[in-house]
Amino acid sequence: HKLAIFLYFLFFILFGVLIFFLTSFLIGLIAQLTTKIPDLIGTTPIMDTIIARLENITGRLGSLFDKGTVATIEDALKNLQSSAVESLPQLLTKVLNFLTGFFSSLPRIILIFVVTIMSGYYFIIQSDRLYLLLLRLIPDKEFVGKIFTASSNLTSSLLRIGGGYIVLLFLTFAQAYAGMLILSIPNALLWAAVCAVVDILPILGISITLIPMGIVLIVSGDIFAGVGIFILYIIMLVLRRFIEPVLIGNAMRLHPMTMVLAMIAGIAVLGLGGVLVGPFILVVMLEIYNTFGLEEKVRNTIGDLLHRNGSEENVSEAESGSSTEKDEKPSIT
């Protein structure tokens, strides 16, 4: 019990520290964006820089692009800047509404978190009493034992899943750090850590860090590093799509294809958050299915239905055959 309690609270402490730093990072990032984006889009000549570089490139290419095409591209870029400035207040309003909703629901989230921790704590230290209580309520020792077995197996599955995502986090960090070192990105260690932490979140992912970084590098004139960041993003995205189903599927003891289908079903029902919820629900359903012997019951039920349908078909065929014989029998006059 002491070791279980220590590991239990250690897990929640680490989880709370991770959520705290991640929330602080996101709030700081949003605060910086809300103050710097209007100046970046409206006052700084970022589009003028892009247009000047475009004219420089077209001048080097000679007559490959005519003046009309270049003018069309310049007008499109200016219209893009105007649209971005016009849509900025709506974007900031949505961000503020999201933050308001999050902080308004924060007491409920904290209450659920505290209740979850305390219920898990009492479940660990008073598992024997809980077992006796369930035996009083459900006088079936085998059924109560299956409930505890399912709970234990689900806990082990959750720990394996958490370990799988920790391994995935370190793999993402290693890939991002190696790529940024090759591209000579300043503060590569910090940015790799940010990519690894944000990549865990299904709603955000590495795109929220690498895509803006690549755009800023290209606009600032470091085309090699900017293009390299986009290539790094594609490589990491492809590797994650191959590694995550295998890694998390092994942690859940599921086939990678089953893991992918569970993710797709979760996204279809719950949105992007279903990437995590879908496989978890599948694990719970499979654990209940296996622990309580539902496979044998389903097989027997299907067998009984097939046997019953076959018997009814045989009876109907026999009745139709007897009626046919009566019709064919000659009448005695």
Domain of residue 121: give its range: 1-125
Whether 121 maps to a domain, the answer reads: yes
What pLDDT, in 10s, does the model give residues 50-59? 666 666 666 6
Q: Which of 81-85, 153-157, 161-165, 229-233 has the highest mean pLDDT?
A: 229-233
What's the chain look like in SS3?
A: CHHHHHHHHHHHHHHHHHHHHHHHHHHHHHHHHHHHHHHHHHCCCHHHHHHHHHHHHHHHHHHHCCHHHHHHHHHHHHHHHHHHHHHHHHHHHHHHHHHHHHHHCHHHHHHHHHHHHHHHHHHHHCHHHHHHHHHHHCCCHHHHHHHHHHHHHHHHHHHHHHHHHHHHHHHHHHHHHHHHHHCCCCCHHHHHHHHHHHHHCCCCCCHHHHHHHHHHHHHCCCHHHHHHHHHHHHHHHHHHHHHHHHHHHHHHCCCHHHHHHHHHHHHHHHHHHHHHHHHHHHHHHHHHHHHCCHHHHHHHHHHHHHHHHHHHHHHHHHHHHHHHHHHHCCCCC
Residue 113 has pLDDT above 80, yes or no: no
Whether 302 maps to a domain, the answer reads: no
Whether 160 maps to a domain, the answer reads: no
Structure tokens given for 208: 């929220």
Mean pLDDT of the chain: 72
Whether 292 maps to a domain, the answer reads: no
Q: Give pLDDT, residue 231.
A: 92
* Phi, psi (degrees; rounded to nearest 5) at 166: -65, -45
Residue 276 has pLDDT above 60, yes or no: yes
Stated pTM of the model: 0.55
Whether 211 maps to a domain, the answer reads: no
Whether 225 maps to a domain, the answer reads: no
Whether 81 maps to a domain, the answer reads: yes
What pLDDT, in 10s, does the model give residues 158-200? 777 777 778 888 888 899 999 999 988 887 887 888 888 777 7
- Mean of the pLDDT values across residues 191-212? 76
**In the chain, what percentage of residues exceed pLDDT 70?**
59
Whether 177 maps to a domain, the answer reads: no
Q: How many domains does the chain have?
A: 1
